[in-house]
């Protein structure tokens, strides 16, 4: 092979009017150029034939996964490997054996072969994860971080092999040196290592997926996860701003994931109104007669009155004895009305908890809390239902002789001051 290349280069130099004797070194570098040109031509023809031929076959198949596995990127990388092997087999022959030039060229070619193999492996990893991402079970998994982790490992191994080949040393020696400087390596790749470990924890424990609605108050994040990579988690807030959070922050700190709520099909409403305690009273017969006109509490009032009458007869209590007998209150009837109103007039999840309860009284009144779940998790519909319910609560409270507590406004205080003011008497003349 070497003699054949030398004869070709001598003939080409003679055709150009040069001789290897007169111009020492021309034949060597011309042979190198011819070999490189030949390999480049082989690589081009190989890609032209293989890529077009394989892609035509792949595009005719019914399955879709082979479109990614035999993508242009993967096929080009495989052709580069063949060309690198051909170049590594031919080019060193140009140089004399046991020479420094041949040693250097051989090491460079071996390093180039490692590079193209790493590129091929990365292309295969990219194609494999794209195939996995198309499967329903993996569509909402943070697999991009895992892919980046795999590519990082390939890059690290490739770098170790290239340095070892260029130095002519065993990779074990280089790894031993890296072990001695492990602290520096950990400091440099701290975020990548923590991101890799955190990504595995997030996936294994099903803590976070692309498309989840999460809230992290510390980082000002409240929106949808759009990307999970090796070093960052991107969250699109509802104001369309993007917040990037390191993955290890989601593992080491607390965050709120609303995805379980969305899967449940019901979103909780837990809001209260404060009732002025001075308007809570026992119901008179006239009040009960008015309340019976409300269909949602008519049966409750009648059943309770029968129970009260039976109790009074059994214990010999007069009907108007408020201290010793049982009495209905307007607040309790109002609470029952709200329960029936939520159950019958509001789109709620009846299989989830529903109650109207009193909270601890405060200086602003007696909080009456409505606790229920809507039958939708859509944000707009949820807010509409919640607004309609509490607008109804505020409007209907007066029918039960109740007042909703509200701190007086400046206008009301001003009016109170005007009403209480009296003209000052003029002082008698001295």
CATH classification at residue 248: 2.30.30
Domain encompassing residue 196: 2-204
Number of H helices, E strands in the chain: 16, 8
User: Is 416 contained in some domain?
Assistant: no
- How many alpha carbons lie under 13 Å from residue 199 in its C-beta half-sphere? 25
pLDDT band at 186 (very low <50, low <70, confident <90, very high): low
Note whether 202 and 247 are within 8 A (CB): yes
Burial of 392 (0-12, 13-18, 19+ CB in 10 A): middle
Residue 94 is given by DSSP the state G
pLDDT over threshold 80, residue 212: yes
Mean pLDDT within 288-307: 94
The pLDDT value given to residue 183: 66
User: Is 51 contained in some domain?
Assistant: yes
Residue 4 or 75, more confident: 75
Residue 20 shares a structural domain with residue 131: yes
User: Is 122 contained in some domain?
Assistant: yes
Tens of pLDDT, residue by residue over 348-398, are 999 999 999 999 999 999 999 999 999 999 989 999 999 999 999 999 999
pLDDT over threshold 60, residue 14: no
User: Is 82 contained in some domain?
Assistant: yes
Residue 359 is given by DSSP the state -
Lookup: tokens for 241: 């701003």
Note whether 78 and 124 are within 8 A (CB): no
- How many alpha carbons lie under 13 Å from residue 412 in its C-beta half-sphere? 4
pLDDT over threshold 90, residue 106: no
User: Is 425 contained in some domain?
Assistant: no
Tens of pLDDT, residue by residue over 230-247, are 678 899 999 999 999 888
Residue 274 dihedral angles phi and psi, to the nearest 5°? -100, 125
- Percentage of the chain modeled with pLDDT above 70: 80
Q: Mean pLDDT highest for which of 73-82, 143-152, 285-294?
A: 285-294
User: What is the rounded CA–CA span in Å between residue 406 and residue 275?
Assistant: 9
Residue 236 shares a structural domain with residue 272: no
Burial of 427 (0-12, 13-18, 19+ CB in 10 A): exposed
User: Is 109 contained in some domain?
Assistant: yes
- Percentage of the chain modeled with pLDDT above 90: 32
Spell out where 151-266 has E strands.
213-216, 221-228, 233-237, 242-245, 256-257
Q: How far apart are the first and last CA of the chain?
A: 138
Sheet holding 267-275, edge to edge: 267-275, 366-374, 355-358
Lookup: tokens for 214: 């999460």
Spell out where 113-232 has E strands.
213-216, 221-228
Residue 310 shares a structural domain with residue 376: yes
Residue 172 dihedral angles phi and psi, to the nearest 5°? -65, -40
Rg of the Cα trace of the chain? 41
Mean pLDDT value across the chain? 81
What total number of domains does the chain contain? 3
Residue 219 shares a structural domain with residue 171: no
Could you tell me which of 400, 402, 401, 398 has the C-alpha nearest to residue 275? 402
Mean pLDDT within 75-92: 82
Residue 54 shares a structural domain with residue 172: yes
User: Is 55 contained in some domain?
Assistant: yes
User: Is 427 contained in some domain?
Assistant: no
Range scoring the smallest mean pLDDT among 3-12, 27-36, 313-322, 355-364: 3-12
Domain boundary among 185, 204, 223: 204
């Amino acid at each position: 092979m070497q003699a054949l290349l030398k004869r070709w280069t001598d003939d080409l130099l003679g055709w150009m009017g040069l001789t290897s004797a007169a111009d020492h070194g021309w034949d060597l570098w011309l042979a190198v150029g011819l070999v490189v040109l030949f390999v480049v031509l082989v690589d081009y023809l190989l890609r032209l034939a293989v890529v077009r031929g394989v892609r035509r076959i792949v595009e005719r198949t019914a399955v879709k996964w082979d479109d990614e596995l035999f993508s242009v990127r993967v096929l080009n990388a495989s052709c580069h490997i063949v060309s690198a092997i051909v170049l590594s087999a031919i080019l060193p022959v140009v140089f004399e054996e046991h020479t420094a030039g041949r040693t250097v060229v051989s090491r460079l070619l071996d390093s180039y072969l490692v590079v193209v193999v790493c590129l091929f492996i990365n292309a295969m990893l990219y194609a494999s994860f794209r195939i996995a991402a198309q499967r329903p079970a993996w569509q909402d998994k943070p697999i991009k971080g895992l892919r980046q982790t795999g590519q990082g490992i390939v890059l690290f191994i490739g770098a170790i092999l290239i340095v070892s080949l260029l130095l002519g040393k065993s990779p074990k020696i280089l790894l031993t040196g890296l072990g001695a400087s492990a602290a520096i390596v950990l400091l440099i790749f701290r975020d990548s290592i923590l991101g890799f470990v955190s990504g595995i924890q997030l996936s294994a424990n099903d803590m976070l997926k692309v498309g989840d609605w999460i809230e992290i108050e510390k980082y000002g994040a409240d929106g949808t996860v759009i990307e999970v990579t090796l070093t960052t988690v991107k969250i699109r807030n509802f104001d369309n701003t993007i917040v990037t959070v390191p993955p290890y922050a989601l593992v080491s700190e607390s965050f709120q994931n609303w995805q379980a709520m969305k899967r449940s099909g019901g979103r909780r409403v837990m809001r209260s109104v404060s009732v002025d305690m001075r308007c809570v009273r026992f119901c008179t017969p006239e009040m009960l007669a008015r309340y019976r006109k409300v269909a949602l509490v008519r049966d409750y009032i009648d059943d309770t009155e029968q129970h009260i009458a039976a109790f009074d007869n059994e214990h010999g209590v007069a009907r108007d004895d408020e201290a010793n007998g049982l009495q209905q209150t307007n607040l309790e009837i109002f609470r029952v009305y709200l329960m029936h109103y939520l159950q019958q007039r509001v789109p709620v999840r009846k299989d989830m908890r529903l109650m109207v309860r009193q909270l601890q009284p405060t200086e602003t009144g007696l909080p009456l809390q409505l606790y229920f779940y809507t039958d939708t998790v859509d944000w707009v519909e949820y807010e509409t239902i919640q607004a309609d319910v509490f607008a109804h609560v505020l409007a209907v409270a007066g029918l039960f002789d109740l007042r909703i507590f509200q701190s007086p406004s400046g206008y009301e205080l001003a009016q109170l001051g005007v009403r209480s003011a009296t003209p000052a008497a003029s002082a008698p003349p001295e």
